[in-house]
Chain A
């Protein structure tokens, strides 16, 4: 909170130490275009908060992005509140409040705030959990506290991908345990196939569980899966992805895949017309086969019923029930 000891001053850009990121929670590579455009038009409306350090330099408390955007826009003088006689942790909390009050924070910024409160400013985990997680819009549980500390530890390439190419947070947390080369493979897939949220989740889960199960790298597993399709074919990216996901699923679930193959073969052998549909229970859990058919006339109905009766008396039908 500002006090009578604080002064509003106009400082030259060279008086600000942009490299001192003690109080920063936003990575320096976050995009600034919108803010730069705004500052070019209107200048800095809300002064920065800074504290004096040795040699006439000043450390930024609030306004890292504003300062950088102003300098990018060619501004030489910046309005600043020069803060005095404040504890460091109080100033950091102020900077968090300033950010929370002015815009929605990115998960990476929240994570940085949580980690700095504990690691740099010595605030106890319990206090962070009870007082600061709710302030940041995070559920105050030990699980969530740890989750945000883990997010802060993500490698920079994954953090950048979360901002630049829509890498999902949960995906990043899983592949953070992979080698850098494996992470590169995944980021390459993300960029090539433009994976949506669900596909990212599915692909990450399959690759992660297979690499743990087989001891192979995610890259090797992916290459094996993509190689199982026809390498010479000129499939569309989405068809190639679908084929690879199918191959991965077969590797992950061999017994289930075999069961599905057997069922498919037996169903074909029944030679039922397309308007008669058989459906086994999901994942073959259960013992009932669902049959449905449609007919536009009594004749069609009789025809379908007769084909079903004929199918019911085949050994293939017995074998299908044997699979359930």
Chain B
């Protein structure tokens, strides 16, 4: 975070506000047609899952830069645990805590 000045942080926020509000205003305020190409409608639904996974895959599988699927990478068991608890309980918070417990134990016992 130290990478930005206060002015840059303000710009980050303003840019995000403009982009997001602009998208939301698009049809409700400026639009006339409501027809949306079907393929686009489908595609947009997969964006959040794709982006979130793309963000964490390198963090979990290559925490030091190089791909690491060894026992020394505590991210792996931790992430698997988080996913398992999420699928099992449908509770985000439980999943994060479960992931943390396994991650912490792994770092303490194995690494």
Partners in one complex: no
